[in-house]
Amino acid sequence: MPWRSLAALGRIIQVAVTTAVLIYPLVFQGDKFFKVRVFKVNGRSMHPCLNPYSSKCDDWVYVRDVGECEIHRGDVVTFIPPKDPSALFIKRVIGLEGDTVVKSDGASTSLITVPLGHYWVEGDNKGLSIDSQQFGPVPKSLLQSKAFYIIWPPSRWKKIFNEFSSECKPANQSEI
């Protein structure tokens, strides 16, 4: 009976399409529903906080959308770098708008005031990090999310604390 098999085929296609339509937003757009995401960190620019030299494999971090949380000095955030719209960087916020930060070009250093609506971000691993020292302050609008936990590998499972490495500190915020 060709009609019956055709109807069955139609039914199967209908169920498949409905399932795909229901599942697609949850699986592939889930980060927009739940405002959380998991990233693998590449490179050593955040040593020793993320991907320390002693670690054998790359860290995975749990991040939350930046609209859901406040940003303070010392938070680890992900953002689109101003010079490359296809990349995503993870760095630490050093200065908020209005703070004075130290910019060092090789031997000389200069003091810079972070403009309104911008952040000054730096990697913990100075010298091996492409950060605000190279491309200047980052607009708030380019920030994507804030990192909360290292979730993989299990031996490194921990909360990412809001702490500065010894060298990265805002110039006019000595009490932090």
Residues that bind other proteins (CB under 8 A): 18, 21-22, 24-25, 29, 32, 66-67, 80-85, 116-117, 139-143
**Shorter beta-carbon distance to other proteins: residue 29 or 162:** 29
Q: Is 145 a catalytic residue?
A: no
Residues 6+ apart with CB under 8 A from 72: 93, 96, 162
Separation between Cα atoms, residue 11 and residue 44, nearest integer Å: 53
Q: Which residues pair with 150 in a beta bridge?
A: 61, 158
> What number of CA atoms fall less than 13 Å from residue 56's CA on the CB side?
3
**Shorter beta-carbon distance to other proteins: residue 67 or 154:** 67
> Which residue's entry shows tokens 């697609």?
24
**Choosing from 45, 129, 132, 145, which is the catalytic residue?**
45
**Shorter beta-carbon distance to other proteins: residue 23 or 128:** 23
Q: Is 45 a catalytic residue?
A: yes
* Min separation Cβ 74 and other proteins, Å: 20
